[in-house]
Amino acid sequence: MNLTWMAWTLPTAVFFITILVLLCGMAVWEYVSPGGNPRVGVLRFETTRGDRLFLSLLGSAFIHLAWLGLVGPNLWWALALSVVYAVGVFRYV
């Protein structure tokens, strides 16, 4: 299989591995504690753990795309910013 069309750098691999680990972690969390108590946060609509994970992943993708377009290919700071964003989403949304 020829995957040379994709720029598989270490930060890109870490990003996708992080997504996989988060999805597996959420599956285990849901198995241990089903349901997750929906709550209303700063966006004023009800969200569950899965909703907050989706918002975190979607926002992280946009953060990384914006970083690539505005700053360049060094994605380590974008990864750190995405982690801070995800913590904020899980805490306040």
67 to 77, 78, 81: CA distances (angstroms) = 9, 6, 10
Domain count, the chain: 1
Q: Where in the sequence is the domain holding 55, given as residue range(s)?
A: 10-92
pLDDT at 3: 63
The tens digit of pLDDT for each residue in 3-22 reads 677 777 777 787 788 889 98
Q: Considering the domain boundaries, does residue 41 fall inside one? A: yes
pTM for the structure as a whole:
0.76
Please report the pLDDT score of residue 17 as a whole number: 87
The pLDDT tens digits for 22-80 are 899 999 988 998 877 888 989 888 998 889 999 999 999 999 999 999 999 888 899 89
Q: Is residue 65 part of a domain?
A: yes
DSSP H stretches of helix in the chain: 10-32, 49-70, 76-92
